């Protein structure tokens, strides 16, 4: 199925593409800089998922609807398991200030990207494109949840 995008849709998707490229770059960079092995793994997993988001956006920009396949379901399951592990490791260590700064930056980035998807979803005319973007937005929010849980459990975020 080929889709024709309006100029506004194309512009919004190009913005999302730029955001996804930045997320991939930052998560990969931060995975190499993080001191905590658990945080390195969290960042690496999120970088892989952000690359999938970027691939989906590129497909839409090329006029094709991405297939929501089994691989994405497996990635979703891995992310849920990782988020659960992070949530269950309460107070296992107090993280470094450098790791806290990396987490804060990525949490703010995820908040921005998720909000931008909200606007993009409402502007899309094709239901299938909306569903793909909604799926990506949900994963962005789950990345935020994973970061929040990691930070809270390692003394980097005071939720009170």
Confidence (pLDDT) at 78: 58
DSSP 61-100: HTTBPPP--HHHHHHHHHHHHHHHHHHH-TTS-PPPHHHH
N-term to C-term CA, the chain: 49
- All domains in the chain, ordered by first residue: 7-60+96-153 (1.20.1260.10)
| Global confidence as pTM | 0.85
Give Cα 83 distance to the centre of its chain: 13
Confidence (pLDDT) at 27: 98
CB 145 within 8 A of CB 103: no
Confidence (pLDDT) at 38: 94
H/E segment holding residue 6: none
> Tens of pLDDT along the chain (160 residues)?
789 999 999 999 999 999 999 999 999 999 999 999 999 999 999 999 999 999 999 999 999 999 876 445 555 565 555 555 555 555 445 558 899 999 999 999 999 999 999 999 999 999 999 999 999 999 999 999 999 999 999 989 877 6
Confidence (pLDDT) at 91: 47
CB 129 within 8 A of CB 60: yes
Q: Exposure pattern of 97-106 as b/e (b: 16+ CB <10 Å)?
A: eebbebbeeb
Rounded distance, CA 46 to CA 39, Å? Answer: 10
């Amino acid at each position: 199925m080929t889709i024709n995008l309006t100029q506004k849709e194309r512009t919004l998707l190009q913005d999302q593409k730029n955001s996804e490229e930045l997320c991939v770059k930052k998560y990969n960079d931060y995975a190499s800089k993080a001191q905590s092995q658990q945080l390195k793994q969290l960042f690496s997993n999120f970088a892989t998922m952000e690359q999938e988001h970027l691939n989906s956006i590129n497909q839409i920009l090329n006029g094709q609807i991405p297939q929501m396949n089994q691989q994405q379901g497996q990635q979703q399951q891995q992310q849920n398991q990782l988020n659960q592990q992070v949530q269950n490791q309460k107070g296992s260590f107090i993280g470094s200030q450098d790791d806290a700064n990396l987490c804060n930056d990525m949490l703010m980035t995820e908040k921005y990207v998720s909000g931008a998807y909200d606007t993009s979803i409402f502007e899309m005319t094709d239901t299938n494109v909306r569903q793909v973007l909604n799926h990506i937005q949900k994963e962005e929010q789950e990345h935020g949840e994973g970061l929040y849980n990691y930070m809270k459990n390692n003394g980097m975020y005071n939720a009170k």
